[in-house]
Structure 1
Amino acid sequence: MLFQCRLEATNCLGVWYLRQVMFLTILAAPKLMVSTQKKVYEHSQVLSRLQLQFAEATTMLVSRVRRAKDDRNS
């Protein structure tokens, strides 16, 4: 009888713990998702800036090479 009471108490505690974990997971999931989306947005902004800087540097380099080539040919 005592063993059965302990077993039931353990099962109840296990169920309670599982419910708490599930509840906290449900509460934390949207925050985690928003955090992840925010990080993705921030990284995409950084990537966009780097792509723009690379394009500007490439354009500048091409124009310098063309000017140097024109100066040599003159």
Structure 2
Amino acid sequence: MATKEVAALIKQGSSVAAACLAAVASCPGVSMVLLSSGVTGHWYEARATLAEPPIPHENLRTVLDVLATPV
């Protein structure tokens, strides 16, 4: 489950949705992301997020390590 804390770990200052989108788009081998929204502002946020450089693989690995840690 994505939380504000996970979003901050992925991409400081981003909304949860933008951080998750950035993480997905930054995964090796991903060349397209399918989005759906009825809110114009969400489209603009998604477009701006996808226009930014990908998240470094080391950061993605850290996020995965945190999320995979047993509770």
Return the TM-score normalized by structure 1. Answer: 0.22
Structure with higher RCO (Cα < 8 A, 6+ apart): 2
Return the TM-score normalized by structure 2. Answer: 0.23
More helix by share: 1
